[in-house]
Amino acid sequence: MDNFQAFILGLVEGITEYLPVSSTGHLLLAQRLLGIPSSTASDAFAISIQGGAILAVLGLYRARVAGMVRGLLGQDETGKRLALNLIAAFVPAAVLGLLLEKIIKKYLFAGEAWGLWPVVAAWFVGGIAILSVSWWRKGKGDSPRAGLSLEQLTLRMAVIVGVAQCLAMWPGVSRSLITIVGGVLVGLSLPAAVELSFLLGVVTLSAATAKDAWDNGAEMLAAYGPVPLAIGFFAAWVSAVLAVRWMVGYLNRHGMEIFGWYRVLLAIAVTAWLLWPR
């Protein structure tokens, strides 16, 4: 992997990580287009540069994060409740991920077996899900801001969102999509569901990044060296800051339909590309 490829992957990671379009699916597609062969090192690289996206949210939501830290220290009851709810939402996917990690990587991430088809299917189905929820809310006459605030999130609601997040283990589904749609379906407003997705993403991505760096970091550094990793991390950080700021403003005004159409059209376009005679 050269520095340009690392930069492109960092941009793709940062732009797509918190949008409901699947960063994993886009990274797999980008790696294929860039000619980067699937390997343990390339998978570890894609996961490790998530650290840049994590840093972006920690910076943008530092007040909320500080409140949770104070809450765990017994100084902020609202922050404590939110922190405990995030932990409850994180646990189901963490447990299932540990149990199914090898199976998922073997059958769904095996480039030579299924290729991009699991991702394409997930893009299409996820797009239909977004459009269905958007049309359902419009039919009820709900604005994007209709619903509960993040402070009103209950432990039961958090666990339901956490269980739903397990679906994102299928590449292409999108962790952000599942947590946002799950949050809306349990009663949160769209802005609250989006913020929940960001904060839960910090917990989930931090755990995944730390585990993969521990397991495969040495192999990744041996294959690519530290410079591409630093470039990818920086590109992911900057692009995630811009993407998150844009997404919050856009969703507050327009809702999620654009992401549903994007997923459906992307699935159709990639299907045509995969079937095109070579």
Q: What are phi and psi of 83, to 5 degrees?
A: -60, -45
Instruction: Supply the pLDDT for residue 56.
Output: 93
pLDDT in tens, 29-61: 898 889 888 788 888 888 889 899 999 999 999
Tell whether the model's pLDDT for residue 110 goes beyond 70: no
Residue 112 has pLDDT above 60, yes or no: no
CB 197 within 8 A of CB 179: yes
Comparing CA positions, the residue from 93, 98, 122 lying closest to residue 28 is: 122
Q: Which two tokens stand for residue 168?
A: 């994102």
The domain of 132 spans 3-275
How sure is the predictor about 191, in pLDDT bands with cuts at 50, 70 and 90? confident
pTM: 0.82
Q: Which residue has the higher pLDDT, 94 or 124?
A: 124
pLDDT tens digit sequence for 202-249: 888 888 888 878 888 888 888 888 999 999 999 999 999 999 989 888
Q: What is the pLDDT of residue 113?
A: 46
Count of domains in the chain? Answer: 1
Q: Which of 10, 62, 58 is nearest to 34 (CA)?
A: 10
